[in-house]
Chains A and B, each alone.
Chain A
């Protein structure tokens, strides 16, 4: 039995592991994909204290090496559920059942999809969820960004320097995202706003060639495109843990700043927690808090 199992090897999870190991607790970190989480897609991090510039890959790798050197164990297995049996928590993966006295859920979030037919099949064939990752494939081409938040606006701005034309498709007339970014976009000659509209179909043979757009009044039109960048928000990865968490309307795990949940001995850290700011440094902060609280909990057993 481990003292603490941490689900998710992103910034929150690995920081939690560092704090837990420094408190001499045994730690297992479970990760379904690559260590590092969402940050590995970021080419250049410029807002993390001390390092003026670091790539997401280097950040994640340094954090992983630091965590592993402190003696945290890693298993690259997907946590499917948490079972409670008295004070013992069992985390079930497709291959193993791991027991712990405390669990920190640091599973982060994933891209929200449009939910259109063929969307999965066309991902990587013209449909993308990451402008900074895939933008360079669309030099001098026609692309669209769908969404109205900061990510959508920043993606459109980034792509406007690469692509020939950028359509920004949004279901409302105003943006949730930063007004200053929206103004900068309005000044760009090659950015076209398609407002009060939704993407209602993907047009493709082998590869995306266009989209069908439906205006709120029901008018349907098509736009010829090479690429569609989907930026309609993210989904917290809490769905498998509904038995131990209280979720808010958007699916985020409710906890105070203590990172404690409704289940004693179960903590939550990072982007899947209900909070105002989701940044690299707040993910790290959550990891520190959750681990410290978990250690406190272990000492009461």
Chain B
């Protein structure tokens, strides 16, 4: 399951998470984001060891600013509160598996 995250609970859900976290920065108007959504959902079901969360950049512009998002969809991978990798644009499942590491 992919959990929606906001500025309020980003610390708790992402930065303080024990698990590796993949944050999907997206927006409703973004076609490639809507294409990517189901792939992320599928990955989240197949990889319970990783946490998948979603941030709507139109509602959470502070987070978009803080993490220097300038193109979506943008997936940012966090480990122990720090960014370790990111990927921009639609990617098929195989490529995303590599991103999980």
State in angstroms the CA–CA spacing of A165 and B36 once bound together. 32
Which residues of the partner chain A approach B93 to less than 8 Å between Cβ atoms?
Answer: 76
Are the C-beta atoms of A36 and B31 separated by less than 8 Å? yes
For the complex formed, measure the closest distance between the CB of A158 and the CB atoms of chain B, giving whole angstroms.
14
Interface residues on B, range: 20 to 34
Number of A positions contacting B (CB below 8 A): 29
Q: Determine whether A242 belongs to the interface, using a CB cutoff of 8 Å to chain B.
A: no
Q: Determine whether B59 belongs to the interface, using a CB cutoff of 8 Å to chain A.
A: no
Q: Which of B1-9, B16-24, B62-70 contacts A (4 or more CB under 8 A)?
A: B62-70
Given contacts A34-B90, A124-B89, contact A56 B71 (CB under 8 A): no
State in angstroms the CA–CA spacing of A42 and B30 once bound together. 9
Report the number of A-B residue pairs with Cβ-Cβ less than 8 Å: 64
Give the residues from 60 to 101 in chain B that come closer than 8 angstroms, CB to CB, to chain A.
64, 68-72, 74, 86, 88-93
Partner of B90, one of A33, A123, A207, A227: A33
Closest to B95 in A: A33
Are the C-beta atoms of A137 and B64 separated by less than 8 Å? yes
Are the C-beta atoms of B31 and A41 separated by less than 8 Å? yes
Query: Chain A CB within 10 Å — which of B69, B89, B90 has the most?
Result: B89
Are the C-beta atoms of A40 and B35 separated by less than 8 Å? yes
Residues of A within 8 A of B (CB): 32-36, 39-43, 55-57, 60, 76, 123-126, 128, 130, 133-134, 137-138, 206-207, 226-227
Residues of B within 8 A of A (CB): 29-32, 34-36, 64, 68-72, 74, 86, 88-93
